[in-house]
Amino acid sequence: MLSRRQLWALVGLTLMWGVNWPMMKLSLQELTPLYFRASTMFLGAVWLFVYVQRRGERMWPQGREWATIAWLGLPNILGWHTLSIFGVQELASGRAAIIGFTMPIFTVLLGAMFFSERITPRVRLAVLAAAIAIGLLLWHELSSLSGRPTGIVWMLGAAVSWGLGTLLFKRAHFQLSPMAVTVWMLLLGSGVLWVLAIALEPVPAPQHFSLPMWLALAYGVFINYGVAQLIWFGLARHLPPATSAMSVMAIPLVGTLSATFIVGEIPHWQDWLAIVFVMVAIASVLWPARATAQ
């Protein structure tokens, strides 16, 4: 049973990560995707580094931990964060969130393919529901004159990366805390993104940024890569699986609803129906099964 404090923290976390999708879309109106990710990820990681270090945790990796962190950072950070920001650039932010949160389904599928995890009837239901949701969104993108179906490909790649990263992270062995490992993945990943941004994108002109742009950047640094991460790691050890599933299911819904107010996106009927199918898919793989009577 969650305490009142944990419940409010979970509600806050769901709102923060849901609203983050249209906030990213808002940022991309004035800043290119790689510079956006590189700057917010680096500043957020620095903020987290100082916070975690002041708590007295060991922060510096030793020996082979460096190589393991770099390896885990490829799918968890570069894969998910880079591909998803390109997806948000191409799609409506709510739509990108819906596709992005098919990631628990890919975690289960990849676990079955590469780690001999069992595929249950509930997993088959999840795959079917997720496929219907993706088909609905792809159908609308292809039928629209301004549709950008490549955005769906970016987001599916991001979801697959997240699923693979989750499986590898669970099987890695560290003396460092998961929070410290995450901070270093963000720091190393932001370094790679800075190199890519400088090489591939025009240099931004911050002096021309609007106030909403600065607010969106601050949100990315202090909320998405800061407060939300701290809340998540604080809850992760005590969060029941069913509660975790409810939170994950609600994030695309929050993202779609908040996008109307933040960036003026109007969801179509395909979006609402896709949300329903994605929620069914997530519940199928994350909701705990009933214990059988002995």
**How far is 77 from 212, CA to CA, in rounded Å?**
26
Other C-beta atoms closer than 10 Å to the C-beta of 276 total 14
Q: Yes or no: say if 179 and 55 are a contact pair by the CB < 8 Å rule.
A: no
pLDDT one-digit tens code per residue, 10-66:
889 899 999 999 999 999 999 999 999 999 999 999 999 999 999 888 999 998 999
Q: Which residue ranges in the chain fall short of pLDDT 50?
A: 292-294
Looking at residue 245, its pLDDT comes to 62
Residues whose CB falls within 8 Å of the CB of residue 76, separated by 6 or more in sequence, listed in order = 161, 162, 165, 166, 168, 169, 185
Closest to 61 measured CA to CA, from 43, 47, 77, 73? 73
Output the DSSP codes for 90-103: HS-HHHHHHHHTTH
Looking at residue 293, its pLDDT comes to 44
Half-sphere exposure of 90 (CA within 13 A, CB side): 21
Looking at residue 237, its pLDDT comes to 63
Other C-beta atoms closer than 10 Å to the C-beta of 236 total 11
**Distance from CA of residue 268 to its chain's centroid?**
23
**How far is 73 from 161, CA to CA, in rounded Å?**
10
Looking at residue 146, its pLDDT comes to 61
Reported pTM = 0.90
Q: Yes or no: say if 37 and 193 are a contact pair by the CB < 8 Å rule.
A: yes
Looking at residue 294, its pLDDT comes to 45
